[in-house]
Amino acid sequence: MQGKITDIKICRSTLIIDYRDINNICLRSKETDNTVAPSFCKNNEAWFNLASCFNGKCLPKGHWVIDRGDYEIDKTVTANFSKGSCKFAITCYNDYGRLAINTDYIPTKTGLRDKITTFGLRLPYNFGRLFRGKSNRILFASETRQSLSGNMEWVVNAAKGDFGGNKVIYSFKKGSRLAYYLKTSFLAGRCHTTVVDDYFPLIYRLDFKGDRVIQLWHACGAFKTVGYSRLGKSGAPQPDDITHRNYTHVTVSGEEIVPYYAEAFGIGEDRLLATGVPRTDVFFDEAYAEQKKAEFFDRFPQFKGKQIILFAPTFRGDGFNSAHYPNEYVDFDGLADFCRNNNSAIIFKMHPFVKDFLIPFGYEDVFEDATEIREINDLLFAADLLITDYSSVIYEYSLLNKPLIFYTPDMAEYCASRDLYMPFEKYAGDCAVFSSDELISLLNSGEYKSFSAEHIRKGSMSACDGNSSIRVAQLIFNK
């Protein structure tokens, strides 16, 4: 029986094909013998991650067709992901009853300066490999941390000193970036496994030649788009950029989000492991929770006995240099009046990229700025209510079964410029307000106390059960 293609669309950097009664659906080149299997296939829906579906690279220039399944819809879909010297444009259309895909792809031109930089960073790495010897070493490296913390600390502690016969080496950023990169490159060359926990430009320049590169991605869930999921939008990488693509393993918080991270990092789903996120183990440790509450009130003793509201939005802008949070989104007077009338206090925790957010004078009795505190998770234990927007903090917070408010005065603008992996309604449920007046009104009504983040926890945090550190430690130390 001849199957049918019932719909097509390009969502972010992915071609999504709805079908029925088609076995082994794939793209076939009309010029060569090449075929491309879906990056993800489930419930009669096939995903082709256009930036990585061809052996981890962009779908090559040419004419492609799905020759199994009738395509009877008169629908043409186009996308242009071109950026810089890289041209990458897609056209999908009906070609006499078959779905055809034309790809116009011209790779990025690598400049001389870029080639010299790559050579210079690979030199100490290759030198390190010469001195690797027979001993097994594992490198934990982070450009955003100055000491062992976050996921890495939880994994190392979970091993309880048993590193499976491996020697563990650390490299955290201190001093100049160049000196740090040269040192870390050399250390990576001496190790068979390199573990990172965030975006790390050095790592993508190196050729690990069969060694493991394990990304303990710091964020839970899949909320605002990152990496290649942002193709065609401001701040996106070039379609054939090298960033993220050389991870051999990536740990994530739940099975539901595996396809999104494969898309974001430009890698196959087989490299994604739903182990859970190690640092979420704290949410299953009552003693730790009580300790962090005590530390919170030691730091902010004036708020003891009050309802604690954590105001923790993400940044606006394309990245570190343009990151900000608009002060006009905060009705300081309205929030202060609510706090004074309801025995409450607000702790503002801005994203670390945001440097220019200021609380005006005169609100010291009800407001405090905790942006300098590195681990936002430690603040969640003391919070009675979280107000946020598009921040991944919703996932960790969902483990605590406390009220949550999404405050998104710029939702349409933000979704248009940055985009989300799923419709906002799926994240927010009934917990969203879209203006400062709505926020103040909701707070005064008290209705927010019935809001729950259970719907967030069920799918995206399914692997976070208090044992994530042990699973990831087994992955890293027991090769």
What CATH number is given to the structural domain containing 333? 3.40.50.12580
Give the pLDDT confidence score for residue 281 in this predicted structure: 95
Mean pLDDT confidence for 398-417: 90
For residues 332 and 246, membership in a common domain is answered with no
Which of 99-103, 323-327, 358-362 has the largest mean confidence?
99-103
For residues 116 and 102, membership in a common domain is answered with no
Identify the band that residue 405 occupies on the pLDDT scale cut at 50, 70 and 90: very high
Mean pLDDT confidence for 81-100: 95
For residues 454 and 342, membership in a common domain is answered with yes
For residues 255 and 158, membership in a common domain is answered with yes
> Which tokens hold the place of 88?
């990458």
What's the CA gap between 456 and 464, in Å, rounded? 12
For residues 206 and 352, membership in a common domain is answered with no
> Which tokens hold the place of 136?
């097994």
Q: Judge whether residue 1 has pLDDT over 50.
A: no
Q: Judge whether residue 320 has pLDDT over 80.
A: no
Identify the band that residue 357 occupies on the pLDDT scale cut at 50, 70 and 90: confident
Domain final residue pick, 60, 81, 106: 106
For residues 73 and 201, membership in a common domain is answered with no
CATH number of the domain residue 177 falls in:
3.40.50.11820
Give the pLDDT confidence score for residue 296 in this predicted structure: 95
What's the CA gap between 436 and 332, in Å, rounded? 10
For residues 119 and 255, membership in a common domain is answered with yes
Q: Judge whether residue 478 has pLDDT over 90.
A: no
Reduced 3-state DSSP string for the chain = CCCEEEEEEEECCEEEEEEECCCCCCEEECCCCCEECCCEEECCEEEEECCCCECCECCCCEEEEECCCECCCCCCEEEECCECCEEEEEEEEEECCEEEEEEEEECCCCCHHHHHHHHHHHHHHHHHHHCCCCCCEEEEEECCCCCCCHHHHHHHHHHCCCCCCCEEEEEECCCCHHHHHHHHHHHHHCCCEEEECCCCHHHHHCCCCCCEEEECCCCCCCCECCHHHHCCCCCCCCCCCCCCCCCCEEECCCHHHHHHHHHHHCCCHHHEECCCCHHHHHHHCHHHHHHHHHHHHHHCHHHCCCEEEEECCCCECCCHHHCECCHHHCCHHHHHHHHHHCCEEEEECCCCCCCCCCCCCCCCCCEEECCCCCCCHHHHCCCCEEEECCCCHHHHHHCCCCCEEEECCCHHHHHHHCCECCCHHHHHCCCEECCHHHHHHHHHHCHHHHCCCHHHHHHHCCCCCCCHHHHHHHHHHCC
Give the pLDDT confidence score for residue 454 in this predicted structure: 82
Identify the band that residue 372 occupies on the pLDDT scale cut at 50, 70 and 90: confident
Mean pLDDT confidence for 432-436: 94
Mean pLDDT confidence for 443-467: 89
Higher pLDDT, 233 or 140: 140
What's the CA gap between 161 and 340, in Å, rounded? 50
Q: Judge whether residue 298 has pLDDT over 80.
A: yes
For residues 299 and 390, membership in a common domain is answered with yes
Give the pLDDT confidence score for residue 200 in this predicted structure: 96
| Length of the chain, in residues | 479
For residues 294 and 258, membership in a common domain is answered with no
Q: Judge whether residue 443 has pLDDT over 80.
A: yes
For residues 73 and 149, membership in a common domain is answered with no
For residues 44 and 122, membership in a common domain is answered with no
Q: Count the domains in the chain.
A: 3
Give the pLDDT confidence score for residue 322 in this predicted structure: 80
Average pLDDT of the chain is: 93
For residues 371 and 446, membership in a common domain is answered with yes
Domain final residue pick, 106, 138, 155: 106
Q: Judge whether residue 133 has pLDDT over 90.
A: no
Dump pLDDT digits (tens) for 188-244. Answer: 999 999 999 999 999 999 999 999 999 999 889 999 899 999 998 878 899 999 999
Dump pLDDT digits (tens) for 238-280. Answer: 999 999 999 999 999 999 999 999 999 999 999 999 999 999 9
Higher pLDDT, 418 or 144: 144
Higher pLDDT, 83 or 372: 83
> Which tokens hold the place of 153?
């600390």
Give the pLDDT confidence score for residue 479 in this predicted structure: 58
What's the CA gap between 61 and 118, in Å, rounded? 27
- Burial of residue 91 (CB within 10 Å: 0-12, 13-18, 19+) is middle
Range of the domain at 86: 4-106
Which pTM value belongs to this model?
Answer: 0.88
Q: What sign does the CA torsion over 397, 401, 403, 405 have?
A: positive
Domain final residue pick, 52, 74, 106: 106
